[in-house]
Amino acid sequence: MLAACAGGGPGGGYTAVGAGPGGPTAAAPSGSVILVPLDGDKGRDAPRDAPRRTGSAARTEESTPSGDPRSAPPAPAPSGEDGPGTPRPHGSPDGRTTPPAASPSPAAPAPSRTTAPTAPADLSWGEPVSEDTDKRWCQKVTVAFRNSGGTAVRSGSVTFGTHIIGALGIDWGTVGSTVELPVPVAPGAHRSPTWTVCVDAWRVPLGMHVETRDVSVRWE
């Protein structure tokens, strides 16, 4: 049929049988060529219209590692971390998690000891106790003092009021005199000093006498 169809030209038709002159040399392809990559380069440079395998062969190739780092399965997370960079609580063998130990709270400061302020001096005294002497214008006078405070009495003075009494018991007048308070008077101390208190002799004529009845104190 090929010989019959080819006979339309001048000189008649012919059909070439066997290799042409020149021997068995490789001939260049005259049509389009499709390159199919090997299994190791599958999916990287193959054209979109390359033939695809189906069935069990395709499943076998998908489960076989290709050597491409991008196709390797992800590495397991290190112990103690849940995913990348996130710490995971440590657990006991029975599955319970142990919370981290709480940091100790700072110790409360110890209360400071304060010294109570010292109480000031508090001096009190009693009524004067008088005693006559061999002179009618003089008397021995004793006064009792007590310091009930917390500080000693450092200074002070005592003022006496001496009354001049007539022969009939009439009070003709009062004469004052001042003496120094014997100090210091320590806290809680009791003291009973005695003074000799006198007035001018001409103020007490014969038949008259003196009586020291009054006492006042100034102290610091």
With respect to residue 112, please indicate whether it lies within any of the assigned structural domains: no
Longest dimension (CA), the chain: 205
Q: What is the mean pLDDT of residues 138-166?
A: 96
As a whole number of Å, the CA-based R_g of the chain is 69
Structural domain contains residue 43: no
Of the candidates 136, 138, 146, the one whose C-alpha atom is nearest the C-alpha of residue 185 is 146
Which runs of E-coded beta strand occur in 73-125? 123-125
SS3 175: strand
Q: Is residue 177 part of a domain?
A: yes
- Residue 123 burial by Cβ neighbours in a 10 Å radius (0-12, 13-18, 19+): buried
Torsional class of 84: left (φ above 0), alpha (ψ -120 to 50), beta (otherwise): beta
**Side-chain half-sphere of 200: how many Cα atoms within 13 Å?**
5
* Whole-number pLDDT of residue 55: 45
- Band of residue 89 on the pLDDT scale cut at 50, 70, 90: low
Which of 43-52, 56-65, 82-91, 182-191 has the weakest average pLDDT? 56-65
pTM of the model: 0.48
pLDDT digits (tens, 9 = 90+) for 95-127: 566 666 666 666 666 666 777 788 999 999 999
- Which residues, in sequence order, are CB contacts of 220 under 8 Å at separation 6+? 121, 153, 154, 155, 156
Q: How confident is the model at residue 13 (pLDDT cuts 50, 70, 90)?
A: low
Average pLDDT (129-147) is: 96
Confidence of residue 207 (pLDDT cuts 50, 70, 90): very high
Residue 205 lies in a domain: yes
- Closest CA relative to residue 164, chosen from 133, 199, 125, 121: 199
Count how many domains the chain has.
1
pLDDT at 81: 47
Q: Are strands 145-147 and 190-191 parallel, antiparallel or unpaired?
A: antiparallel
Residue 25 lies in a domain: no
- CATH number, domain with residue 177: 2.60.40
Give the per-residue pLDDT at 164. Answer: 96
By residue range, what is the domain housing residue 197? 123-219
93 band by pLDDT with thresholds 50, 70 and 90: low
Residue of higher predicted confidence among 203 and 1? 203
In a domain, 64, yes or no: no
59 lies in some domain: no
